Amino acid sequence: MIKFSYKQEDFETWLKGFSESIGVKAIDNYLVIPASVGSGYIYSRNISKSLSFVVMDFELKKDLNLNRVGTSDFGILLFFNQIDVAEFFKVVSHQEVIEEQTKLRRNIFLSSTNNDLEVTFSKGSRMRRVGIYFAPAMVRRFIKNDTKIYLTSYTKNPLLNVNKELIGFEYRKILDEIYKTDFNSDISLLILHNRILLLTEKFFQKLLAKSIHADVRISKLNRADLEALETVERALSKEELEKFPSITQLSALARMSTSKLKNKFKEVYGMKLYEFYNKNRLQKAREWIEAGDTSVKEAAYKVGFSSLSNFSKAFKKEFGLLPKELKQ
């Protein structure tokens, strides 16, 4: 297993430390993954003293353990994860553990540097990740107090956010452009910086628009309620969920009344239960079709559509194109 323990700083410093941990050297902030570890690359760059990013595209031959030690000051990390998990994916924070075998992880993960966070990826996993770091100085200077209060609340328990935000089509298009970057071209690097800032803008606009005043609402929920909602969220996010569970079933799972479950889920996740389920299954179907793992028909049936016509209509409404157009 490869182990790397660190306190989060800018990603150029992070890459230097990671390079040393695997016994190789990054050249011009570009690290070629050695054959003993896997294959692929990691690239990092500081846009300014307070803003930096990393682009990872590699496959592992060994388990990889990244152990982030919490800092005293409040910085922010934003990761766009497109990971093909070979065996397992594990996250540990505050003695709480999430271990999953979900094969395709396509999520956006926002966390604060205050929290200890240990992540382990199994060997054979394909890692495509874009990370953006906002240093404490940037947070203090540019983020208003009410927004900072919300972000502090949002990132307080990292494990609640592991599966919360999905990578939609608008992000995927930008990410595809990022992974096609020619890192030897000054113009390509300038475009890369633009795409990083565009990702940042889109995410925070959506997050704050969807969750305005959510810090006040969430603060009224006790930990048991938040954990119950997370359980429901996981139930609605299963790899192959053939049909939407009844509200009665979900209420029993959460140990809440149906009305309380409906209201609290909408408050925390910004959408109704069925809306969340539907968006999630359509996103999974899209990923399978894009990866070439299934036909359009197979993807539709795997996520619970009995009618290919209804699947195509729902897909078009969600993504603006038909699944067969995506296949092409």
Band (324; pLDDT cuts 50, 70, 90): confident
Q: How far is CA 32 from CA 54, 87, 91, 292, in A?
A: 14, 24, 26, 27
pLDDT at site 1: 94
123 φ, ψ to 5°? -60, 150
pLDDT over 50 (residue 256):
yes
Distant-in-sequence, close-in-space partners of 288: CB < 8 Å, separation ≥ 6: 104, 294, 298, 299, 302
Helix and strand element counts for the chain (H, E): 13, 12
Q: What is the pLDDT of residues 163-178, one digit of tens each?
A: 778 787 678 889 999 9
Q: What is the pLDDT of residues 26-43, one digit of tens each?
A: 999 999 999 999 999 999
Give percent of the chain with pLDDT exceeding 90. Answer: 51
pLDDT at site 6: 96
Q: What is the pLDDT of residues 258-312, one digit of tens each?
A: 999 998 888 777 778 998 888 888 888 887 887 777 889 998 888 888 889 999 9
Band (211; pLDDT cuts 50, 70, 90): low
Band (213; pLDDT cuts 50, 70, 90): very low
Mean pLDDT of all residues belonging to the chain: 87
Residue 289: name the closest of 316, 320, 328, 317 by CA.
328
pLDDT at site 221: 63
99-102 own/partner pairs: CB under 8 Å, 24+ apart: 102/239
Choose between 2 and 302: higher pLDDT: 2
Q: How far apart are CA 76 and CA 265, in angstroms?
A: 25
Give percent of the chain with pLDDT exceeding 70. Answer: 93
For the segment 121-129, the average pLDDT, to the nearest whole number, is 96
The domains located in the chain, with CATH, are 2-215 (2.60.120.10), 222-327 (1.10.10.60)
pLDDT over 80 (residue 194):
yes
pLDDT at site 215: 46
pLDDT over 60 (residue 212):
no
Angle at 163 between CA 161 and CA 164, to 5 degrees: 60
102 φ, ψ to 5°? -60, 125
pLDDT at site 241: 65
This prediction's pTM: 0.68
pLDDT at site 234: 78
